[in-house]
Chains A and B, each alone.
Chain A
Amino acid sequence: MALKIVKGSIDRMFDKNLQDLVRGIRNHKEDEAKYISTCIDEIKQELKQDNIAVKANAVCKLTYLQMLGYDVSWAAFNIVEVMSSSKFTYKRIGYLAASQCFHEGTDVIMLTTNQIRKDLSSPNQYDTGVALTGLSCFVTPDLARDLANDIMTLMSHTKPFIRKKAVLIMYKVFLKYPESLRPAFPRLKEKLEDPDPGVQSAAVNVICELARRNPKNYLSLAPLFFKLMTSSTNNWVLIKIIKLFGALTPLEPRLGKKLIEPLTNLIHRFLSSVIAVLISLSSGMPNHSASIQLCVQKLRILIEDSDQNLKYLGLLAMSKILKTHPKSVQSHKDLILQCLDDKDESIRLRALDLLYGMVSKKNLMEIVKKLMVHVDKAEGTTYRDELLTKIIDICSQSNYQYITNFEWYISILVELTRLEGTRHGHLIASQMLDVAIRVKAIRGFAVLQMATLLDNAHMLTGNTQRNGICEVLYAAAWICGEFSDHLEDPLQTLEAMLRPKVATLPGHIQAVYIQNAAKLFATVLRAQEGVPDSQKAQETSQLLIDRLPLFVQSANLEVQERASCVLQLVKYIQKLQQKEVAVAEEVSALFAGELNPVAPKAQKKVPIPEGLDLDAWINEPPSESESEDEKPRAVFSQEEPRHTRPRHTEVDEKELARRREARKQEQANNPFYIKASPSSQKVYPEVPGVEHIPVVQIDLSVPLKVPGMPMSDQYLKMEEERRQKEKEEKKKKEKKKKKEKRGRGRKHESGPESEEDITPAHTVDIVTEEMPENALPSDDDDKDPNDPHKALDIDLDKLVQLLVLLFPHYFAEMWWKKKHFPCSVLLMLLYLRALLSVQVYDIQGNLQDGSQVVVSVIFENKSTSFLKSMEFNVLDSLNSKLQRPDGAGPHDGLSVPFQLPPGVSNEARFVFSVQSIVMPQKLKGTLTFIVKSEESSTHEKLDFKLHFTCTSYLITTPCYSDAYAKLLESGDLKSSSVRLEGVSMSFHHLLARICFHHHFSVVERIDSCASLYSRSIQGHHVCLLVKTADQTVSIDAKCDEPSLLGNVLDEIKQTFSMC
C-alpha cells in the first residue's frame, strides 16, 4: 500500500497540474485545439488510475477546460468519484467540478444523494459547507425532496457558518420542491432573529425572494421586518427589507404611512437605497402626492448627474412613477428629451419608454420630430425598430387623441417606410389603413401619398422578408383602390400596380394588388367613357389583358384565382367595348358601396332578436343539472335569473372566445377588415351623426413643398405658424372664440398643459366605426364587470333604482319617504352592496310557537374577493329579539356558518322572538365581514334593516267555505275596507298577487268577486272580500284584531302601488 502511494506521487511529479495546463494553453496560441486534445487524452489516462490525487488533478483541469467551452460531460462519473473522496482537498475540487458541470439532465446526479447526505452530516464543518455550496448549483427536484430534511436540521447547526448556508440553500430547495416550504417555514422565521448577522441576512434574503413571488403570505411578518429595518445597520439587509416592503405595501395600505418616516431617514443615509425607496414608494403609496413630488425632484437630480448609472436608474424609477403619477413626471419633459441624445443605448431606451407617457397635443409634433431625427441617426436595427414602434405607439395612443393634423401623421408614416431593414412594415401598414379609413378628411391626401408610394415601389421591394417594409404596399394598394376617386391620375397608378416587378412581392400583397387593380380599372373606365375617343378605354383594357397573365401563373393560389377572375372579366368588357356598349357604370357597380370600419365591439352589440334565448339549451342538457335550476324562489321572482345565469354565461364565454378566435383568423386574411388598432380598447367618440359635421377642406394657400425639407417638417412649421396666427387672432377676438369653442365637434381631454388653446388644423371627424342598428350607445362594457368600484360609476337616479332592485319592497318605502337621504351615504352603502348583498329572502312565522319568526337571509358575494368571518347582529327592540345561543350577551352577533367565495350566495336562517304581531317592525342590524383579496384583507361593515311586515306574521291556511261563513257570522270580527284605484291587471292575477305576497288562500271565487282567508301565527283570523270593477278594486276585510288588519291592508295597498 505504502509503495503504491509513493509510486502514485512519483507519477504525479510528471503529470501536468492545472498551472502547467494553463501555461501550456497560453504558449500554444496558434494550435490551441490540438494542444487541448492531447491534454484531454492525458486527462483520460489520468482518470483511469486508482490514485485519487491524480484523479482530482485531472478533474481540476477538466473544470478549467469546461470553462473554455469544451465538453466534459463524459467525465461526470469521475467527478462523482472525486466528490466522494474522504479528503477535503479532493472533495473540494470534486464539488467545484460538479457545480460547474452538472445540470438537471446529468444522470449521475442520482448517484450522489447518499454521498451528499453523508457530507452534510460530517463532523467537519468545511465538508458540510462544501457540500451545501455544490448542492446549491445542481439541486434537482429529486435531490431537494430527499435532502430537504437534512438541510432543515442544518438550519439549527451550532456553527453560523453552516446555518447561513443551510438557510440560503433552502430557497433553492423550496423552488425545486415546494412542499418543503410549510414545515420549514417556522424555522426560517426563527432565523430572522438569529444572533449571527450573517444568518440573519441570509434569512432576510430568502424570505424577501419568497415574498416577491407571493407577498400575501408574508404580511404577518411585517412587524418583525419593521423592527429589523429600524434596528439593522447592515445596508445589504436594509435594501432587501425595503424591497420586501415594496411588495407588501400594495396589500396593506396602512403600512405605507408607517414606512414614510423610517424611509425618509434612510434617504439621507445612503444613495443606493434611495432607488429602492423610490421604487417601493412609487408602487406602494398612490395617495402620497407630496412625497411623490419630492421623489421626482430627487430623481431629476439623479438624471442630471454625470454618472451614467445614476442616470439610468433615475429614468427607470421615473418610469415606475409615470405609471401612477403621470402628471408629476410630465414637467420634466426637457430632461427626458435630452436623454434621447445620450450615447448609451440603455439610457435612450429608458427615455423612450418615458416619452410615451408625456406627449400632449402641443408637443407631439416636436417630440416625434426629434424621434425622427434619431431614426435617421440610429445605427443598430434593434434600436431603430424600437424607435419606430414607439413613434407609432405615441401617435396612435388613446385613439389618436394627440394628433391634431393627420396629414402630418401620414407623412410621418410615409417617411418611416424609407427605413431599411425594419421588421415593422406590417405595423406601418395597419396604421395607414386605420387612418385612411377612419379619418375621412384625410383620404384625399392619403391616396395621393399612397399613389406615390406605389409608383416608387421599387424602393421598398428590396426587402421581401416577412413583415418587411413591403407590407406597406399592401396598405397603399388597398387605399388607392378603395378610394380611387381621389386619385389624380388613376391610369398611372393602375399601370404601376401591374408592373412585372410586382410578381416578386409576397403572395398576399399581390392578391391585394390585383383586386385593387380591378377597382382602379372601374374608375378609369368611368372617366374615359365620357370622352368621345373610345380608343383610350380599349387601350386600358388591353393593358390589363397584357399584364394579368403573369399573375395567372402565380404559384400563390389566391393570386392565381383573383387574377384569372379579373382577366376573364376584362376580356368580357373588352368585347363589349368593341361593340361600343357603355359598361363603366356596371363595372363600377361591382365595387360599389363603402366599406366602413367595424367596431371591435360590434358583434357584442347586435341586439338579440325577440324570441331568441341564447341561454336556452338547444338539446336538453343531461338530467343531473336540472334539479338545480328548479330551486323555488318564493318571494322575489326578479332575482332568479341572477342565480341561474353564471353557469350559462360561462359556457357562453368559452363559446364566445372560440368564435372570437375564429373571427380573428378570418379577419386577419380579409383585406377589407380593419384590424383593431392597439388602442382599440378605448371608447370611440360615439357622437351620433358625425357624418353631418362639416369637413373643412385643407387650406392650400400655404405651399405644400418646402424645398430641402422632409414633408413632416413642413407640417411642423405650418403648425407653428398656424398656432402663432391663432394666438394673435385669439387676442383680438377673445369673445368670439368662446362661442366657437363650445361648438367644436371633437371631444377634448384636458392635457397637462392648456390644451384648449390648440385647435385641430382642420376639423377631422374620426369616423365612428360601424355598429349594428339598434345597438345601445353605452360604453359601460369597457369596464371590468368584476370591478366593485364600477358600481360607483352611476348617477343618482340609477343608484336609487339599483337599491330598490336590491332591496325590494323592504327598502322601497324608506327611499320614497326620505328623498333627501345624503348622497354620500348612498354611495357608501352602494360600495358595500357591490361587495355583498344581503337579501332578506323570507320572513316566516313559526306555527309551532306563536312568538317565533324565522328570517331567511341570502348572502350573495358580488365582489371578486373572498368573504369570511361574517357576523350577523341586530339591535333588539322591546318587541322583537334575535334569539342568541345560551350564554351570549344581548349585543353579541351570531356568526354566519359559512364563508363566501367570489360570486357565491348562500342562505342562513335566524330566529327572532316577537311579542306583539299587530304592528310592523323594523330592526336595525349590522353585518361585519372580512374581505380577503389577493392583495389584502380588510374588515368591512354593512348596515341593513330588517322589516317585519304584518304580512310576514300571516300563514297561508286553507279554509272551507262553510267554516268561513261561520267565522263571518260569529260577529266578533271587526271590519275595515280599502279601495285601490287604477289597477289594470286581471282579477285572476290580482288574486294570485295577494295570495302570493300576503300569504292568503282563496276560499271561494265567483266572477269578479272572491273571498280570501289567512291566519296569523298567534291565531288571528283575517278574512278578505275582494271585488273589482273598472280598474277599481275594493277590499272589505274582517279580523279579530283591528290594528293588525289595518296594517295588513296598508301593506296590500303598498304592493299594488308599486306595480
Chain B
Amino acid sequence: MQFMLLFSRQGKLRLQKWYVPLSDKEKKKITRELVQTVLARKPKMCSFLEWRDLKIVYKRYASLYFCCAIEDQDNELITLEIIHRYVELLDKYFGSVCELDIIFNFEKAYFILDEFLLGGEAQETSKKNVLKAIEQADLLQEVRHNYFL
C-alpha cells in the first residue's frame, strides 16, 4: 500500500498516512486530486479506480471516506478488507466511532493504524492483539503521565 487517506464528505482531510516518502507539495497535490475524483463518484459505483499507475480503493463509512492507494499487482478485495478492519478497530476502541472521535483524537487514530499496518503491509490480523497493544501503550502513557505530573 502506498498511502491511506481519510476525508469527510466535504473534502476535509481527517487523517493521512504515507508509506512512500513524498514531498509535502506532492502529497498535497495527490490529496487534492484524489479527494475530488472520489467525491465525484456516485454511491452505487464500485470501490475501485485506476489513477495514474496506481489503483485506488475507497469505501465510505457514514460521512467519512477511507481511501487507499495500492500498486497494480495488489489485491483490491484485501485492501477493502483492510479498510474494514481498521474501521472495526476504531469502532472497538472508541465505542461506535464517529467522525468527531477521529478529529479530536487523531493521534489515537494514528496509533491504532500504526499497530495494524506497518510500512503499508498488514502487521497484525488479530483485532484482539492490536487493541491489547494499544491499551497497554495507553496505560503506560497514563502511568508515566500521572507519575511525572
Contacts and interface: CB of A to CB of B under 8 A. Distances in A.
A interface: dominant SS: helix
Contacts of B114: 96, 99, 133
A104 B141 contact: no
A212 interface: yes
Given A89-B141, A103-B23, A202 B75 contact: no
A276 B77 CA distance: 9
B107 A201 contact: no
B13 to A, nearest CB: 6
B19 A309 contact: no
Contacts of B123: 164-165, 168, 198, 202
A863 interface: no
Contacts of A311: 46
Nearest to B80: A309
B53 interface: no
A716 interface: no
B62 interface: no
Given A164-B124, A239-B78, A92 B48 contact: no
Contact of B140 (A19, A88, A313): A88
A377 to B, nearest CB: 16
Given A136-B119, A309-B46, A67 B81 contact: no
B137 interface: yes
A201 B46 contact: no
Given A88-B137, A161-B133, A201-B125, A172 B119 contact: yes
Interface string A42-75: 0000000000010000001001100111010100
Contacts of A345: 45
A312 B125 contact: no
B124 A198 contact: yes
A206 interface: yes
Contacts of A206: 121
Interface in B9-58: 13-19, 21-24, 28, 41-42, 44-50
Contacts of A18: 104, 106-107
A634 B21 CA distance: 63
Nearest to B21: A103
A236 B125 contact: yes
B64 interface: no
A164 B14 CA distance: 28
Contact of B24 (A71, A202, A271): A71
B15 A88 contact: no
Nearest to B37: A345
Contacts of B80: 309
Contacts of A205: 121-122
Nearest to A196: B129
Given A89-B145, A308-B44, A236 B106 contact: no
Given A92-B111, A198-B126, A234-B125, A308 B77 contact: no
Nearest to B76: A313
Nearest to A313: B76
A670 interface: no
Contacts of B107: 18, 60, 63, 93, 96
A169 interface: yes
Interface string A130-170: 10110011101000000000000000000001001100110
Interface of B: 13-19, 21-24, 28, 41-42, 44-50, 73, 75-78, 80-81, 103-104, 106-107, 110-111, 114-115, 118-119, 121-126, 129, 133, 136-137, 140-141, 144-145, 148-149
13 contacts: A103-B24, A104-B21, A124-B140, A126-B137, A126-B140, A138-B21, A140-B21, A206-B121, A272-B77, A272-B81, A309-B47, A311-B46, A312-B46
Interface of A: 5, 9, 18-19, 22, 53, 60, 63-64, 67-69, 71, 73, 87-89, 92-93, 96, 99-100, 102-105, 124, 126, 129-130, 132-133, 136-138, 140, 161, 164-165, 168-169, 171-172, 197-198, 201-202, 205-206, 209, 212, 234, 236-237, 239, 243, 271-272, 275-276, 308-309, 311-313, 316, 343-347, 349
